[in-house]
Chain A
Amino acid sequence: MAEPAVAAGLGAARPRGSWVSAFARQRELSLVAIMVVLGALVSIAAPQFLTFSNITAVAVLASIYAIASVGEALVVITRNIDLSVEATIGVVAYCVASVLERHVFDAPAAIALGIGIGLVLGMANGVIVTLLRVPSIVATLGTLSIFRGLDYVIAGSHQVPLAGLPPGFTDPARTNLFGVLPVFVLVALGVVVLGTIILRSTRFGRQVYAVGSNPEAAAILGIPARLVEFAAFSVCGLLAGVAGVMWVMFFGTINGTAGTGIVLSIVAAVVVGGVSTLGGSGTIAGAALGALFLGFTANALPLVGLSQFWLQAIYGLVILVAVSVDAIILRRLQRATAERRAR
């Protein structure tokens, strides 16, 4: 059953030219190359950068961002954007921590609750965008404010301390499988692999790209565009829920401000990872790599003597550079295609 689907998936990519796929593939590779070069430079200046403990510490935190970025990438591929993910992460993190502190649920039920809340908030975004026809930028700017407001209202001035969580709940953030592979990294890898298989080899995956690259054509082909967009927002919320649960495990101490301002990092990760903001192209593996790249950048800054205040400016620059590079590549490709047609 799977084989024809894979073949069709490859076939669908071919008419766009081997050029495009070469560049698309190169984006992940070039990101890895940049990371290796920058990593080498930083480790010359600061040897403690390239230690096992530092690298796993960065990778564990980046895993949380990577999972949120995968959801965001899915939404961006459908030519939408979700600015509310950080508030979803905040609501989920506080609710999970709070039910655990008050012994309402045990750990597995609390985790399920957190992911469920994420899914529901994502579905709310999906309804507003697809059913109420509000452009995603406006809808999610609104829900960013609404979800964050809910978070503050639920949390009040209360802060769940680390001691309020059941013993062992935060262990997954600090455990390495076989002594080398952090559990969080494994979860992120799982999400990326599963997501990649779904996007590359299922009907839904190809519909996501079709809706993003040309909504009208997708509609003519009989693709339920609104349903696909709704699903993308729902999955984005669900993954934000997963990230919110991991946030609790990682930080332990949670109040109503968890995750404030991280939407910029998440969007930056998606854009750096080569997902086109015009929709229809990019991979979730790229988005996850983008999150890893930004994680290493944040970690390297103090090592090379720059204060944390530089981080936001650098993220901003990274977004601008990444979208500009994409635009230049796109323009070259279009020119090349036009020349080939003229011949």
Chain B
Amino acid sequence: MLARWETLLVLALIGLVALGASLSPFFLTAGNFSNLIAALMEVAIMAMPMTLIIVAGEIDLSVESMAGLSSAILGFLWAAGVPLTIGIPVVLVVGALGGLLNGLIVARGGLPSLVVTLGTLALFRGMALIVLGPRGVSDFPTAFTQLGFGHVPGTLIPWPFVIFISLALVLGIVLHRTWVGRQVFAIGKNAETARFSGVRVTRVRISLFVLSGMVASLAGVILTSRLSSARADAGSGMTLTVATVVLLGGVNIFGGSGTIPGVALAVLCVAVMQNALRLASVTVEVQSIALGLLLILSVVIPTFAHQARSAVDRVRGGRHPPADPVARGEAAPS
């Protein structure tokens, strides 16, 4: 294989940092890095379970709405006088239940997750609107807003980054070093074979969606805290960025391969890119064009790299290309 996807991401990251540094003298300051990281943490946190879901051959489009529902319920409960020590656990349970709904319909009903989660994308957002309506709740205590806004004492590391790194470590170990992770890869490669090999496919799939729903509601809590405001439209459009980050991280959209370190690197790349574009005073609209292009390119480039590779192989040794024209090589460390 020509190069590991992660190596390419590191090179891209170095290039982007160099670009940012040439655009503005403020780019390479610790304060700027702290900001650019903090701005993408909700997306980064939701991207972690999304990585597992896409590796297992499914997708969860409803995460942005679950983040919104979580924000709406948290705001509603706080405005009704419920303390956050109760509100936050309630919201996480709601997230898990929403994920359970997705998981049950997809895994037990045998329906495509794309359409099911498109349905819950509308359903959860609608529930958020029903709960909170068009108003915003913003009189949260400082101790809570510090969670999204503040830094680890004595450093410029934002608290959400700590949460993200912990989640990445735990899910990275689970995915790449345990039997659970191997089951996820097995399901993504071939669910039927996995079933006959004794993998409880239905149970694993449902668990993944529950995890995704719960983490999405956690992201909603962090978003509420960072913006010091609970709104029903919180997180609108974030699914696009989450999917972009995961696919840019080298996860195969058809399932079966992908790595957590790759996705974490992609998070950094996108964060630096958005920051550099902002420093170059590129408008938000053009940034959304860039993000869309990036999403498509992150699938196109590996596909064609793979085709080029198998063409080279064929010329060299007369080897036959693999049956699956879009498989992305062995991205998972074994």
Q: Which of B102-157 contact A (CB under 8 A)?
A: 105, 109-112, 114-116, 118-127, 129-130, 133
Q: Is B122 a contact of A312 with CB atoms below 8 Å?
A: yes
Q: Which of A250-292 contact B (CB under 8 A)?
A: 264, 267-268, 271, 277-278
Q: Is A304 an interface residue (CB 8 A)?
A: no
A109 to B119, CA, bound (A): 38
| Nearest B-chain residue to A265, judged by Cβ | B122
Contacts of A148 in B (CB 8 A): 288
A122 to B286, CA, bound (A): 21
Give the Cβ gap from B174 to chain A, nearest Cβ, in Å: 25
Q: Is B111 a contact of A316 with CB atoms below 8 Å?
A: no
Q: Is B254 an interface residue (CB 8 A)?
A: yes
Q: Is A123 an interface residue (CB 8 A)?
A: no
Q: Is B295 a contact of A145 with CB atoms below 8 Å?
A: yes
Give the Cβ gap from A209 to chain B, nearest Cβ, in Å: 18
Q: Is B289 a contact of A320 with CB atoms below 8 Å?
A: no
Contacts of B303 in A (CB 8 A): 132-134
Q: Is B17 an interface residue (CB 8 A)?
A: no
Q: Is B105 a contact of A320 with CB atoms below 8 Å?
A: yes
A320 to B120, CA, bound (A): 8
| With A145-B240, A149-B292 as contacts: A316 and B105 at CB distance below 8 Å | no
Contacts of A134 in B (CB 8 A): 296, 299-300, 303
Q: Is B286 a contact of A142 with CB atoms below 8 Å?
A: no
Q: Is A310 an interface residue (CB 8 A)?
A: yes
| Nearest B-chain residue to A270, judged by Cβ | B115
A267 to B133, CA, bound (A): 24
Total A residues in contact with B, Cβ cutoff 8 Å: 42
Which residue of B130, B239, B283, B299 contacts A310 across the interface (Cβ within 8 Å)? B130
Q: Is A311 an interface residue (CB 8 A)?
A: yes
A309 to B132, CA, bound (A): 10
A142 to B244, CA, bound (A): 9
| With A132-B300, A149-B292, A323-B111 as contacts: A141 and B119 at CB distance below 8 Å | no
Q: Is A313 a contact of B123 with CB atoms below 8 Å?
A: yes
Give the Cβ gap from A216 to chain B, nearest Cβ, in Å: 12
Give the Cβ gap from B170 to chain A, nearest Cβ, in Å: 27
Contacts of A331 in B (CB 8 A): 110
Contacts of A149 in B (CB 8 A): 285-289, 292
Q: Is A316 a contact of B296 with CB atoms below 8 Å?
A: no
Q: Is A152 a contact of B115 with CB atoms below 8 Å?
A: no
Q: Which of B265-304 contact A (CB under 8 A)?
A: 283, 285-289, 291-293, 295-296, 299-300, 303
Contacts of B59 in A (CB 8 A): 137
Q: Is B243 an interface residue (CB 8 A)?
A: yes
Q: Is A97 an interface residue (CB 8 A)?
A: no
Q: Is A153 an interface residue (CB 8 A)?
A: yes
Contacts of A144 in B (CB 8 A): 240, 292
Q: Which of A78-137 contact B (CB under 8 A)?
A: 81, 128, 132-135, 137
Total number of A-B contacts with CB less than 8 angstroms? 137
Q: Is A327 an interface residue (CB 8 A)?
A: yes
A245 to B52, CA, bound (A): 42
| Nearest B-chain residue to A326, judged by Cβ | B111
Contacts of B118 in A (CB 8 A): 264, 267, 319
Q: Is A271 a contact of B296 with CB atoms below 8 Å?
A: no
Which residue of A135, A146, A278 contacts B293 across the interface (Cβ within 8 Å)? A146
| With A138-B247, A267-B118, A323-B116 as contacts: A309 and B253 at CB distance below 8 Å | no
Contacts of B240 in A (CB 8 A): 141, 144-145
Q: Is A138 a contact of B243 with CB atoms below 8 Å?
A: yes
Q: Is B194 an interface residue (CB 8 A)?
A: no
Q: Is B261 an interface residue (CB 8 A)?
A: no
Q: Is B326 an interface residue (CB 8 A)?
A: yes
A309 to B288, CA, bound (A): 27
Q: Is A312 a contact of B126 with CB atoms below 8 Å?
A: yes
Q: Is B322 an interface residue (CB 8 A)?
A: no
A312 to B120, CA, bound (A): 10
A133 to B120, CA, bound (A): 28
Contacts of B127 in A (CB 8 A): 313
Q: Is A81 a contact of B129 with CB atoms below 8 Å?
A: no
A317 to B289, CA, bound (A): 31
| With A264-B122, A316-B119, A323-B119 as contacts: A153 and B286 at CB distance below 8 Å | yes
Q: Which of A315-337 contact B (CB under 8 A)?
A: 315-317, 319-320, 323-324, 327, 331
| With A310-B126, A316-B126 as contacts: A138 and B111 at CB distance below 8 Å | no
Q: Is B325 an interface residue (CB 8 A)?
A: yes
| With A148-B288, A309-B126 as contacts: A142 and B111 at CB distance below 8 Å | no
| Nearest B-chain residue to A311, judged by Cβ | B126
Contacts of B129 in A (CB 8 A): 309-310, 312-313
Q: Is A324 a contact of B121 with CB atoms below 8 Å?
A: no
Contacts of B130 in A (CB 8 A): 307, 309-310, 313
Q: Is A141 a contact of B295 with CB atoms below 8 Å?
A: yes
A267 to B117, CA, bound (A): 12
Q: Is A315 a contact of B110 with CB atoms below 8 Å?
A: no
Q: Which of B78-115 contact A (CB under 8 A)?
A: 105, 109-112, 114-115
A133 to B105, CA, bound (A): 29
Give the Cβ gap from B116 to chain A, nearest Cβ, in Å: 7
Contacts of B326 in A (CB 8 A): 133
Q: Is A138 a contact of B292 with CB atoms below 8 Å?
A: no
Give the Cβ gap from A156 to chain B, nearest Cβ, in Å: 9
Q: Is A150 a contact of B114 with CB atoms below 8 Å?
A: no
Contacts of A323 in B (CB 8 A): 105, 111, 115-116, 119
Which residue of A152, A153, A268, A278 contacts B122 across the interface (Cβ within 8 Å)? A268
Q: Is A146 a contact of B292 with CB atoms below 8 Å?
A: yes
17 contacts between A and B (CB under 8 A): A81-B114, A138-B243, A142-B292, A142-B293, A145-B288, A148-B288, A152-B285, A153-B285, A153-B289, A267-B118, A271-B115, A309-B126, A312-B129, A316-B122, A319-B115, A324-B111, A331-B110
A-B pairs, 5 with minimum CB distance: A313-B126, A316-B123, A316-B122, A145-B292, A312-B126
Q: A277-B114, A309-B126 are in contact. List 14 more A-B contacts (CB 8 A).
A: A133-B326, A135-B254, A135-B299, A138-B247, A142-B244, A145-B291, A267-B115, A267-B118, A309-B130, A310-B130, A312-B122, A314-B126, A323-B111, A327-B109
